[in-house]
Amino acid sequence: MPFMKTKYIALYTVLLVFSGQVFAQSNALSSSPYSLYGLGLTNDIGTGKINGLGKSGIAIPSSTFINNSNPASFGAIPKNAFFYDFGFKGETNISAEGASSNSSITANFSNIGIAFPINEKSGFGITLIPFTSVGYTISGIESYIEGSTNLFNTTVEGEGGINDLKMNYGYSLTDNFRLGITASALFGKITETETNYIFADSYSSILIDEDNRYSGLRLGAGFQYDIAKNLSVGGGVVNLPATLSGDTIGTTTISTDVTTEIFETDSDLDDFKLPLEFGFGLQTTLQEAFTVSLDYKKSFWDDTNQSDQIGTFVDQDFFGAGLQFKSTGNQLKFFNRLEYRAGFNYDNGNIEIDNTRISNSAINFGIGVPLKRDTSSMINFSYSYGNKGTISSGLIKENYHLFSINLSLEGIWFQKRKIY
């Protein structure tokens, strides 16, 4: 089949799956009560092998898989290669508050993307990933109606999140130096439902549904420099500040024993500001079999001057470290082509509640299973165990088990078949 026709069919297929992924974001990708704040929890799931390496990848080139951590990496996509990445995740979350605890399970797609070379020096990729995720339920809130002894019971639920349609372009200025730019179209819906049951002489309820929609554009850039054969630097990864505009459509339903009234509202929301972010990374190879990667990222949330109803946004620091082992033995043997990974990541959180930061830390393990000997196609499995928050100051501590699978495929184009 001609190259152009094949490319259009591939792009059309991906766009169809993209459409399904956008709608999938309407289901809860998170079960964390901390997704109540802001626009939800920021997604920390990566593409390819990143999840098993402590989420570190700023200095890793996209030479064998799609690496969204740095747009400059796309300048390393090999000629004739076409990469696909399909990600899935499942999470078990145990939340503890005081002496009580609650567990939940969520599962969904985590990403889908394609990448390909434009010419010998540049490459392009497009990926759809959740930017934030919301999924919480707060129930059993009892209060007295002002001026009376009658009680009302409140349940609040939220789900949805913001999608990130990310486009990356990378260019190799030299064999050792790559530059890249990125553009993200951010969009999505967060649904909040508040149900109030009023216990008085007669039964009544108030149901408030709000669909909050946000959208905006964010730009960024980065570079990678191979200092030596076994040492790469990925620095200057910058995501510029951005503003997400929003609107809300609300429906209030008031029901009593005899009547039901419905009121609808449509109004603009306050803009939500995303901060300036920068990151720096290193990657080095030791004795050919071991690869070490280190990342540091900082987000300047203080400069957005934003606060939530309960918490305040504060500057956030992220640290990630990963180690990969791959045998240097005979690569015709299957087990010599397996990749074993371990990592650790920590961030001090971007929300502060009652002078307490909601930090997050996790250890990661992963394995890459090759699919074909003559390509870099691989199934990447990873597992993370982590915790978030604290039970002090009346807050909630979460322990979670996170499983992810990334199907990272490589197609080879413009390569003549060998005839034996």
pLDDT single digits (tens) 190-201: 999 999 887 766
User: According to the model, what pLDDT value does residue 220 have?
Assistant: 98
User: According to the model, what pLDDT value does residue 196 have?
Assistant: 86
Greater confidence (202 vs 54) lies with 54
Q: Would you kindly state where each structural domain of the chain is located, as residue ranges?
A: 3-412
For residue 203, what are the β-bridge partners? 199
Greater confidence (402 vs 205) lies with 402
pLDDT for residue 243 is more than 60 = yes
Average of per-residue pLDDT across 400-419: 79
Average of per-residue pLDDT across 111-119: 96
Q: Given pLDDT bands bounded at 50, 70 and 90, which one contains residue 4? A: very low
For the stretch 263-273, pLDDT in tens is 999 999 999 99
Average of per-residue pLDDT across 164-185: 97
Residue pair 49/56 in contact (Cβ under 8 Å)? The answer is no
User: According to the model, what pLDDT value does residue 28 have?
Assistant: 55
Considering only CA atoms, which of 418, 417, 382 is closest in space to residue 402?
A: 382
Whole-angstrom distance, CA of residue 15 vs CA of residue 100: 44
Residue pair 104/137 in contact (Cβ under 8 Å)? The answer is no
User: According to the model, what pLDDT value does residue 327 have?
Assistant: 92
Considering only CA atoms, which of 124, 160, 152 is closest in space to residue 7?
A: 124
| pLDDT above 90: percentage of residues in the chain | 61
User: According to the model, what pLDDT value does residue 202 have?
Assistant: 66
> The pTM is what?
0.86
For 205, the enclosing helix (H) or strand (E) is strand 203-228
Whole-angstrom distance, CA of residue 160 vs CA of residue 29: 7
Q: What is the CATH number of domain 3-412?
A: 2.40.160.60
pLDDT for residue 382 is more than 50 = yes
Greater confidence (203 vs 83) lies with 83
Whole-angstrom distance, CA of residue 133 vs CA of residue 25: 8
Considering only CA atoms, which of 185, 193, 250, 239 is closest in space to residue 214?
A: 185
Greater confidence (327 vs 310) lies with 327
User: According to the model, what pLDDT value does residue 230 have?
Assistant: 76
Average of per-residue pLDDT across 124-143: 88
pLDDT for residue 165 is more than 70 = yes
User: According to the model, what pLDDT value does residue 200 have?
Assistant: 64
Q: What is the token pair recorded at 250?
A: 């609300």
Whole-angstrom distance, CA of residue 162 vs CA of residue 129: 9
Average of per-residue pLDDT across 400-414: 88
User: According to the model, what pLDDT value does residue 366 have?
Assistant: 98
Average of per-residue pLDDT across 44-70: 94
Q: Given pLDDT bands bounded at 50, 70 and 90, which one contains residue 288? A: confident
Whole-angstrom distance, CA of residue 224 vs CA of residue 174: 11
Give the least confident one: 132-141, 153-162, 185-194: 132-141
User: According to the model, what pLDDT value does residue 154 have?
Assistant: 87
Q: What is the token pair recorded at 52?
A: 């098993």
Residue pair 247/267 in contact (Cβ under 8 Å)? The answer is yes
Please report, to the nearest 10 degrees, the dihedral formed by the alpha carbons of residues 169, 173, 175, 181 taken in order: -20
| pLDDT above 70: percentage of residues in the chain | 87
Residue pair 301/242 in contact (Cβ under 8 Å)? The answer is no
Q: Report the sign of the C-alpha dihedral through residues 118, 163, 65, 75, in that order.
A: positive
For residue 344, what are the β-bridge partners? 321, 363
Residue pair 367/335 in contact (Cβ under 8 Å)? The answer is no
Q: DSSP letter string over 312-348?
A: EE--EEEEEEEEEEE--S-TTSGGGG-EEEEEEEEE-
For the stretch 331-365, pLDDT in tens is 888 899 999 999 999 999 999 988 899 999 999 99
For residue 341, what are the β-bridge partners? 324, 366
User: According to the model, what pLDDT value does residue 34 have?
Assistant: 86
For the stretch 367-378, pLDDT in tens is 999 998 888 999
pLDDT for residue 25 is more than 60 = no
- Residue whose token pair is 């280190």: 294
Q: Given pLDDT bands bounded at 50, 70 and 90, which one contains residue 413? A: low
